[in-house]
Amino acid sequence: MSFNEKYKVIDSAEMNGVEIEVLELPKLEGASSPYMAANLFYARQSGLKVRMVRVHLNKGSIKTEAGAVYYSHGRIQSDTKIGGVTGFVKKSISGSLTGESMIKPTYSGIGEINLEPSFKHYFILKLNASSVIIDDGAFYCCTGGLTLAPAMQRSASAAVLGNESLFQLKVSGTGLLVLEIPVPKDELVKYDIQKGEELKVDGNFAVIRSSNVQFSVTKSQKSLIKSAMGGEGFFNTYTGEGSVWLAPTAPIYRKFSANPYIVNEDNNSLE
């Protein structure tokens, strides 16, 4: 069975000489010991699947996280633009601020690039002369025409109270952006915010927002005492005109990841 027959394309997009595909392997069948077979059995039972991102270049270019390329085929050139000592320092500072590596190798030419396989989830977003701000560590790769820069929160207190970083990554331009997201793509929920509206979220599970959407932390009630009595406290609040993508199930996955024994047998609820 060939590579193309083995893997299933679950998402794809094409723009500016670049086609990006998210591939999924239905199941792993290479167990070579009882211990490995048991782990693979439970992985299959839970729906855990291997995924990888494949990029087809036709005189286009793509930027990736450093070290993300697994293998490639064709006439492809790689370049890591640093801009001398000053540029390297600026990129290092930007990376430390956003939690992302700002050194993004660029690959261009004609051929195919395959990024490292994992059990993670990926989301392809098309940008058309627009910009978005993404959650920490969400960047995976993008077409070469997009630009990356740190974006500072409007206030340090909002970042602290909202459990967000003071700096996040802003991606701008026209092209394709691939994000590493904490939930399956189908579990993302997109809200379009109009002028005068608010989107209030009890937690930090917003993964993407339009750059003209402002983030702040607000009280659930007019006073702190009423907020405490209401049991809500503070909300991560988004205003402006644009879109916000939420991952409402992300906190549930985080609970399972941190502790495998969190189901209450009396009422089958998550603790």
List, for residues 126-155, the tens digit of each pLDDT value.
999 999 999 888 999 999 999 999 887 665
Asked if residue 215 lies in contact with residue 158, where contact means CB atoms within 8 angstroms, the answer is yes
Please determine, for residue 267, whether its predicted confidence score (pLDDT) is greater than 60: no
Q: pLDDT higher for 258 or 67?
A: 67
For the cut 70, the answer to whether the pLDDT of residue 166 exceeds it is no
pLDDT band at residue 176 using 50, 70 and 90 as cut-offs: very high
Query: What is the pLDDT at residue 261?
Result: 55
Residue, of 167 and 232, whose pLDDT is higher: 167
Q: Looking at this protein, which amino acid is placed at residue 71?
A: Y
Give the pLDDT confidence score for residue 217 in this predicted structure. Answer: 86
Structure tokens at 123: 């989301």
Q: Looking at the predicted structure, is the pLDDT value of residue 81 above 90?
A: no
Q: What is the dihedral of CA 214, 96, 178, 254, to 10 degrees?
A: -80
Largest Cα separation within the chain, whole Å, is 65
- Please name the amino acid found at residue 232: E
DSSP-assigned states of every residue in 167-216: EEEEEEEEEEEEEEESS-GGG-EEEEEPTT-EEEESSS-EEEEETTEEEE
Distance separating alpha carbons of residues 247 and 201, to the nearest angstrom: 11
pLDDT digits (tens, 9 = 90+) for 2-43: 556 788 999 999 999 999 999 999 888 888 999 999 988 888
| C-beta separation of 135 from 167 below 8 A | no
Query: Worst-scoring range by mean pLDDT, 18-22, 28-32, 227-231, 257-261?
Result: 227-231
Contacts (Cβ under 8 Å, ≥6 apart) of 198:
237, 238, 239
